[in-house]
Amino acid sequence: MIVFADAIISWQKRHGRHDLPWQNTSDPYAIWVSEIMLQQTQVGAVIGYYGKFMQRFPNIHILASATQEDVLQQWSGLGYYSRARNLYSAAQKIMDSFHGRFPNDFDDILSLPGIGRSTAAAISTFAFNQPMPILDGNVKRVFARYFLIEGWPSLPNIEKSMWQIAVRENPVGLNKAENAVAYTQGLMDLGATVCTRSQPKCHICPIKKNCQAHLKNQTNLLPTPKPRKTLPERNTTMLIYMNANEVMLEKRASKGIWGGLWSFPEVDSAPINGEILPKFTHTFTHFKLHIEPVLIKSSHQDNMPNTLWITLDEAIESAIPTPVRNILQSLNSKN
């Protein structure tokens, strides 16, 4: 109730995070970019990308007038590339449908591609001081423990009840708007720095007195982990066509894994005319990919569709996924 929110708010003001690169601003564009980058991605992994992205695309207009290739290049290595494609697509929509100004209406924000309920709420709160409830991984963990909610939090019925709690606890009363930022930020700060998944710092937690998991000594059992199946494994052979100083890259389909990025042509098994490079494994969230790179010396420039020849140095700076970057860098260090 009020007690919960007040405890979070006062704790955040004293002990929360106040100096992240996307804080201390009300620019909806800056906040939007940060919220997209932070989806399923930890703060430490985002900070470097965020600075470069904002330098390259300082506002909506510049982002919208760039190419998707430019945007994917800045996103290269961060993962979940549909976020970058949707960010770019949303920028176009803001130009076309909202006169180039980021909308402040919640439903308008929610209508933008790549923005779901929680991200829309975070933008609404941080950029426009309109308190709307969020429900991210941090909040789910805090709620699961504080209210002793069993079951994997992303199960639809569990998540639904957590949204109800998020709405109920969200401070929307009179004169609460000024604390909306502190409450929303505080929930995430608490989950990220105190109510962590392993070894939570309950001794410094501002709400431990009423935390059901803490009182019943079940903190280490909550939240209920996701039911895991064994990861499926796949194999692929990447063909690295290379002449004196250039490699051939192939643009991947716009959807699916690494959509819209540049990679190597893939086949099921190695051809006999190549030099087999060391195999390695790249692990995704939902499968393992065993990659066998094969180097093929090619004096002529094969004219395959959706391909280009590019120097090693330029290739490394392109919109490529991480395993491709690793391969290119190993080739570069050889030469």
Stretch that binds DNA, among 57-65, 236-244, 304-312, 319-327 (CB under 7 A): 319-327
β-partners of residue 188 are none
What's phi and psi for 148, nearest 5 deg?
A: 50, 60
β-partners of residue 32 are none
3-state secondary structure of 285: coil
End-to-end, the C-alpha distance of the chain in Å comes to: 64
According to CB under 7 A, which one of 4, 5, 8, 22 is a site residue for DNA?
Answer: 22
Measured from the CB atom, is 169 or 189 closer to DNA? 189
Q: Which is catalytic among the residues 35, 169, 250, 292?
A: 35
CB of residue 245 to DNA, shortest distance in Å? 25
Q: Verify whether residue 159 is a known catalytic residue.
A: no
CB of residue 302 to DNA, shortest distance in Å? 25
Q: Identity (one letter) of the amino acid at 197?
A: R
Strands (E), 183-301: 233-242, 246-251, 262-263, 266-267, 275-276, 280-283, 288-297
- The answer to the question of residue 122 lying near DNA (CB under 7 A) is yes
Separation of alpha carbons 268 and 129, rounded Å: 53
CB of residue 280 to DNA, shortest distance in Å? 11
Separation of alpha carbons 104 and 101, rounded Å: 9
| C-alpha angle 170-176-181 in degrees, rounded to nearest 5 | 70
How many beta carbons lie within 10 A of that of residue 305, not counting itself? Answer: 6
What kind and span of H or E run contains 169? helix 156-169
Strand pairing report for 288-297 and 275-276: antiparallel
According to CB under 7 A, which one of 32, 81, 128, 264 is a site residue for DNA?
Answer: 81
According to CB under 7 A, which one of 7, 33, 38, 127 is a site residue for DNA?
Answer: 38
CB of residue 191 to DNA, shortest distance in Å? 5
CB of residue 140 to DNA, shortest distance in Å? 7
- The answer to the question of residue 35 lying near DNA (CB under 7 A) is yes
According to CB under 7 A, which one of 120, 194, 205, 328 is a site residue for DNA?
Answer: 120
318: its two tokens: 């392109």
β-partners of residue 247 are 242, 310
- The answer to the question of residue 189 lying near DNA (CB under 7 A) is yes
Q: Identity (one letter) of the amino acid at 160?
A: K
Cα–Cα nearest to 165, from 147, 178, 182: 147
Please answer whether residues 127 and 185 qualify as being in contact, where contact means their C-beta atoms are separated by less than 8 angstroms.
no
- The answer to the question of residue 192 lying near DNA (CB under 7 A) is yes
- The answer to the question of residue 256 lying near DNA (CB under 7 A) is yes
CB of residue 25 to DNA, shortest distance in Å? 12
Question: Which residues within the stretch 274-313 sit at the binding site for DNA (CB under 7 A)?
Answer: 282-286
CB of residue 258 to DNA, shortest distance in Å? 5
Stretch that binds DNA, among 169-177, 239-247, 290-298, 318-326 (CB under 7 A): 318-326
Separation of alpha carbons 235 and 115, rounded Å: 34
Measured from the CB atom, is 192 or 310 closer to DNA? 192
**Residues in contact with DNA, shown as a per-residue x/- string from 128 to 167 under the rule CB under 7 A:** --------xxx--x------------xxxx----------
Measured from the CB atom, is 193 or 307 closer to DNA? 193
Separation of alpha carbons 45 and 37, rounded Å: 9
Known catalytic residues are: 35
**Residues forming the site for DNA (CB under 7 A):** 17, 20, 22-23, 34-35, 38-45, 77-82, 86, 113-120, 122, 136-138, 141, 154-157, 185, 188-189, 191-192, 197-199, 225-226, 228, 231, 255-259, 282-286, 321-323
